Structure 1
Amino acid sequence: MIIFLPGIVLPFFFGSRFGVVGYFFLYLWSWVFSQLTFIRYKFYGRENFKKGKAYIYVSNHTSFLDLPGIRMIIPGQFRPLAKKELLKIPIFGWIAQAATIIVDRSSPESRKKSIDRLKQLLRQGISILIFAEGTQNRTKEILQPFHDGAFRIAVDTQRPILPMVVIGAGRLMPPGTINLRPGLIRIYVGDEIPTEGLSTNEVKDLKEKTFAKMKELYIKNA
């Protein structure tokens, strides 16, 4: 991470369109991390990414190991919504500051600013990533209940949702620990969920539809 740090962080100082350079180095870091730790990622559903479209990626979240795989499967640059606590992690906090949209979940003002920034990026043609559960899943359930944020943004911007599920990451590095072991992580990308024509009254229905599709995708491939 230290070796790739300048290539990851510096491009973002020159504006959003240079983020593609930073994300290229993030891809390199993710691949090297995978090789050195003997953690392998297998990807399914890459054909569901349509070139030139800005998506709202919605993923489950079970481990810090989700992130390298998600970076490797998503083409080009995007911006994850990240909690401010990540800024406290040495070195990685600098990367999070540069390459993500940070939110302080305890502050309504911070939440509003982060949502406005995510919408602005979508208008610029840059996809965003939101872990709809809000935090890593520490329960025995396949998915935790989703928050509304991703789906309100989808309706407000009329951008499609592209759901994905990560399987196996929590077993290799459980939430809240630094225990790490080699193994296989699989990431599945589902079919696009359109939002054109939806109104704010249909946010709940969109959230429930996405939840159901992601749960089905997980159960089908678990």
Structure 2
Amino acid sequence: MKRILKRAHSLVYQGFVILVFFLLWPLFYYYSRKPERYPVLNKLRGRVSFVSSALAGIFYKFHFETKIDWSRTYIICPNHTSNLDINAQNILIKNNYAFLGKDELLDNPVTRIFFKTVDIPVNRESNISSFRAFKKAEERLKNGTTMVIFPEGAIADHYPPQLIPFKNGPFRLAIALKIPIIPVTSPDIWKVLWDSGDQLGSRPGVCNIYIHKPIETAHLTIDDADKLKDEVYSLMKHKLENEI
């Protein structure tokens, strides 16, 4: 019975996402037409993330290690165990931003409009695709757009989820452009909805999101990329092992 209720809740949540998205479709379409409108597009998807989650009884509680200066450009590095991680970043970030994410999202009726405009799709199985995606990310960062890059690269298949090794890309990019990194740790979001929810469903609940203080990279060189990656990994792993 519990499994049936969780599967039903997952369908209800997905229904609310689709409903709210398509009610606002004319606005999404208008603000996706020109790059100068993308900041409003981002604000709109933040609203959709909050409202669709709230209608399903899912809420996000943000814990800040320090106040974030959203006038600066960052590379946001969250751990990744749930589709709700995307909602959390949509609600959290207060400046213009873009995701670097799997190209399968181009086939999703809700995320397609974003990955054809503001976000950057990548085929992680292709070195050429990854190279081109990170070059685009570099251009966005230089233009003042905060990038959201999941350092694990994907949601791991094992359950319950564990932090998996990080990719080098976001850390090399941060050092090359002297952009600070903000690690974001979500220790319990998977308990509300793991992965897409298709296997185990979902439930109402509060998702705790811990925003670590920014890590400056201006003093680092490319040779420090692995050290920076290990530092962020250890920081997030410690938080996951000592849940809020």
Task: Provide TM-score, normalisation by structure 2.
Answer: 0.84
CA separation in 2, counterparts of 1:6 and 1:78?
Answer: 21
Structure-1 residue corresponding to 2:171: 151
Larger radius of gyration: 2
Q: Which runs of 5+ in 1 are unaligned?
A: none
Judged with a 3 Å threshold, the aligned counterparts in structure 2 of structure 1 residues 172 and 192 are, in CA distance, closer, same or farther, namely same
Matches within 5 A, 1:77-96: 77-96=96-115
CA separation in 1, counterparts of 2:237 and 2:152?
Answer: 13
Q: CA RMSD in A?
A: 1.8
Correspondent of 1:121 among 140, 164, 179 = 140
CA separation in 2, counterparts of 1:66 and 1:141?
Answer: 13
Tell me if 1:216 matches 2:215: no
Structure-2 residue corresponding to 1:189: 211
Aligned 8 A contact 1:57 1:161 in 2 = yes
Structure-1 residue corresponding to 2:187: 167
Structure-1 residue corresponding to 2:13: none
Structure-2 residue corresponding to 1:204: 226
Listed one character per residue, the Cα deviations across residues 168-213 of structure 1 (whole Å, up to 9, x for unaligned) are 2212222253322211111110011111121111110010011111
Q: Deviation at 1:47?
A: 4.1
Q: Which runs of 5+ in 2 are unaligned?
A: 1-20
Aligned 8 A contact 1:48 1:190 in 2 = no
Tell me if 1:138 matches 2:157: yes
CA separation in 2, counterparts of 1:206 and 1:52?
Answer: 23
Task: Provide TM-score, normalisation by structure 1.
Answer: 0.92
Aligned 8 A contact 1:41 1:184 in 2 = yes
Structure-1 residue corresponding to 2:85: 66
Q: 2:83 corresponds to which letter in structure 1? A: F
Structure-2 residue corresponding to 1:24: 43
Listed one character per residue, the Cα deviations across residues 149-179 of structure 1 (whole Å, up to 9, x for unaligned) are 1101111111010110113221222225332
